[in-house]
Amino acid sequence: MTKVELGPDGKPVVPEEVLGAVRTLIEWAGDDPSREGLLDTPKRVARAWLEYCQGYADDPAIHLSRTFEEVGGYDEIVMLRDIPFQSHCEHHMAPITGKASIAYLPKDRVVGISKLARVLNGYARRLQVQERLTAEVAKCIWDNLQPHGVAVVIDAQHGCMTGRGVRTPGVGMVTSRLLGSFLDDERSRKEVLALMGY
């Protein structure tokens, strides 16, 4: 990721070529980038995209580096259900809006529960396809916590299918990645999917 400089107002400085690119897009789309309402738009758009893509500056594995072992012998499923998130599809840079359920079956140690949502955001705030997002979140938890099982299910709507193209508002894309005991053991798989509400 390009190093971002902060201006005196504490906001990111936007290079002239980025401003120019947004101006060109506005013009190409049919509007006049020099009219008053659009004058500051390139700067806002550029800064907004830095936020949408904040994940490039994040190493999601770091969020899983602090674990706790004293959990009273708890060795059942730990889950964050229906975490709302936003991402952007890498094909159209259109919003992907949805919810993710993330579960793992701990082996000896657990992680602070907010960290699962942080891992999700670290990968979601990039240009994505939903399949890769699902797989990356699962792999990060699998590699770093080395649990007995990991399950990630994402249900999301794609702006490129609602606001344009095929225009099918309301349709959800569902993806899942199950690893370890959630993949191998039918009883565990059924239990985790039932807890997620599937």
Ligand X SMILES: Nc1nc2c(ncn2[C@@H]2O[C@H](COP(=O)(O)OP(=O)(O)OP(=O)(O)O)[C@@H](O)[C@H]2O)c(=O)[nH]1
The catalytic residue positions are: 89-92, 130, 158, 160
| Structural contact between residues 192 and 78, judged by C-beta atoms closer than 8 angstroms | no
What DSSP string runs through 16-63?
HHHHHHHHHHHHHHT--TTSGGGTTHHHHHHHHHHHHTGGGG--GGGG
Check binding of 160 to Zn ion (CB under 5 A).
yes
Known binding residue 89? Answer is: yes
* Choices 26-34, 81-89, 104-112, 134-142; region in contact with Zn ion by CB under 5 A: 81-89
Residue whose CB is less far from Zn ion, 89 or 116: 89
Q: Please count the residues of this chain forming the interface with Zn ion, following the rule CB under 5 A.
A: 5
* Choices 5-13, 32-40, 84-92, 172-180; region in contact with Zn ion by CB under 5 A: 84-92
Q: By CB neighbour count within 10 A (0-12 exposed, 13-18 middle, 19+ buried), where does 106 fall?
A: buried
Q: At closest approach, how far in Å is the CB of 91 from ligand X?
A: 4
Q: Which amino acid is at 184?
A: D
Known binding residue 140? Answer is: no
Partner whose binding site includes residue 6, from ligand X, Zn ion, none (CB under 5 to 8 Å by kind): none
Known binding residue 160? Answer is: yes
Q: How many CB atoms lie within 10 A of CB 92?
A: 15
Q: What angle do CA 143, 149, 153 make, to 5 degrees?
A: 95
Check binding of 132 to Zn ion (CB under 5 A).
no
Q: Give the residue among 105, 103, 100, 62 at the shortest CA–CA distance from 84.
A: 100
Q: At closest approach, how far in Å is the CB of 39 from ligand X?
A: 30
Annotated binding site for Zn(2+): 89, 92, 160
Q: Which residues bind Zn ion (CB under 5 A)?
A: 89, 91-92, 94, 160
